[in-house]
Copies of this chain bind each other. A is one copy, B any other.
Amino acid sequence: MPSPEKIFQIFNAYQQTASLKAAIELDVFTALAEGNNTAKALAERCQTSERGMRILCDYLVIIGLLNKQNGHYDLTPESAVFLNRRSPACISSVVKFLNSPYVMDTFKDVAGVVRRGGTLMGEEGSMAPEHPMWEEFARSMAPMMAPAAQMIAEIVGEGDWKVLDIAAGHGLFGIAIAKRNPKAQIFALDWPNVLKVALENAQAAGVADRYHTIAGSAFEVEYGSDYDTVLLTNFLHHVDTGTCENLLRRVHRALKSGGRAVTLEFIPNEDRVSPPAAAAFSLMMLAGTPSGDAYTFSEYDRMFTAAGFSRSELHPLPNMPQQVIVSYKE
């Protein structure tokens, strides 16, 4: 007779999300980094009951976000780097997007979503023009994307690049290229409410004088031409393959000869169930969009080929759920 423990754990898995959200809201990880390592000290610092803090911290130990020894709590290597607000790699702001009602409400009726085969959130789901969730995305997801932005800037390399950043969001990918290349010109495309955030970030990074904006839908607005690089970061997964191909044709036309499309994506293996984080992303697209998906590399390769690109190559990123595809225009 097997044990039902794993199943029981999944019935209760939502409690993990709720507890991490609470710990971030109460700033428990930062308080621990400051040296408050008992339930009593943490409760004083975070202005909570001691009883509640003790039970929350014990639970955070159980789910692997804290350690405990002799009644004293401590950060794990992961929580020290990614959840302490004073760590430069802190990603705790992503809770504001990943655990916002925008995203979580799409999971309220997964059975209904599976019946329909797409989101129940209106006809366009999160793809509706100027949907406010993309402003929240741009404001809260930047820290999560900073390492990928660095790696993409390295892949793009040195040059006087003219770069189009499609669905720029926080703008970090174009900004990283602009910082590395003093003559690069960046054209960021997004809805006007999101471009506000990208512009703030470009100003803060000191590259605003080479940062241009194109307001509108990536499927409709004019891109301009003669780009060396077009960035497609976490974007193609929102739509079906036919819509992707149409968009990639527009990207192909906007590139100069020898130019490259650089795509950052959740790309599962051909089995569609590994690696876990990339493959699981498919469910987010089912719940939140009419027909988006996490496509495999062979699917992307076919789409880029159909759009006129001569070849595509895959670049895994260390410690990231996403990978990069570089596609060449001859």
Which chain A residues have a beta carbon within 8 Å of chain B's beta carbons? 1-22, 25-26, 47-56, 58-59, 61-65, 68, 77-79, 81-83, 89, 91, 94-95, 98-99, 104, 107-111, 113-118, 144, 271-274, 276-277, 279-280, 282-286, 291, 293, 319, 321
A8 to B83, CA, bound (A): 11
A79 to B7, CA, bound (A): 8
Q: Cβ of A26: which chain B residues have Cβ within 8 Å of it? A: 111, 114-115
Closest chain B CB from A29 CB (angstroms): 10
CB pair A3 B110 closer than 8 Å: no
Known contacts A13-B14, A14-B104; decide if A59 and B3 are in contact (CB<8 Å). Answer: no
Closest chain B CB from A299 CB (angstroms): 14
CB pair B51 A110 closer than 8 Å: no
CB pair A49 B5 closer than 8 Å: no
CB-contact partner of A82 in B7, B63, B274, under 8 A: B7
Instruction: Give how many copies assemble into the complex.
Output: 2
CB pair B1 A11 closer than 8 Å: no
Interface hub of A25, A98, A280, A321 (most chain B Cβ within 10 A) = A280
Closest to A4 in B: B82
A77 to B14, CA, bound (A): 24
CB pair B15 A62 closer than 8 Å: no
A286 to B109, CA, bound (A): 27
Interface hub of A47, A52, A53, A55 (most chain B Cβ within 10 A) = A55
CB pair A6 B114 closer than 8 Å: no
CB pair B13 A16 closer than 8 Å: yes
Q: Cβ of A3: which chain B residues have Cβ within 8 Å of it? A: 78, 319
Closest to A11 in B: B98
9 smallest beta-carbon distances between A and B, as pairs = A49-B117, A22-B110, A52-B114, A13-B16, A22-B111, A14-B14, A3-B319, A14-B17, A18-B107
Q: Cβ of A49: which chain B residues have Cβ within 8 Å of it? A: 114-118
Closest chain B CB from A278 CB (angstroms): 10
CB pair B12 A118 closer than 8 Å: no
A83 to B2, CA, bound (A): 12
Q: Cβ of A25: which chain B residues have Cβ within 8 Å of it? A: 111
A99 to B277, CA, bound (A): 24
CB pair A110 B4 closer than 8 Å: no
Known contacts A111-B26, A118-B52; decide if A283 and B81 are in contact (CB<8 Å). Answer: no
Closest chain B CB from A121 CB (angstroms): 14
Closest chain B CB from A254 CB (angstroms): 31
Supplied contacts A6-B78, A7-B79, A15-B107, 15 more A-B pairs, CB within 8 Å: A2-B77, A2-B78, A9-B276, A10-B63, A11-B99, A12-B280, A13-B13, A15-B283, A21-B110, A22-B110, A51-B291, A55-B285, A55-B286, A58-B279, A63-B280
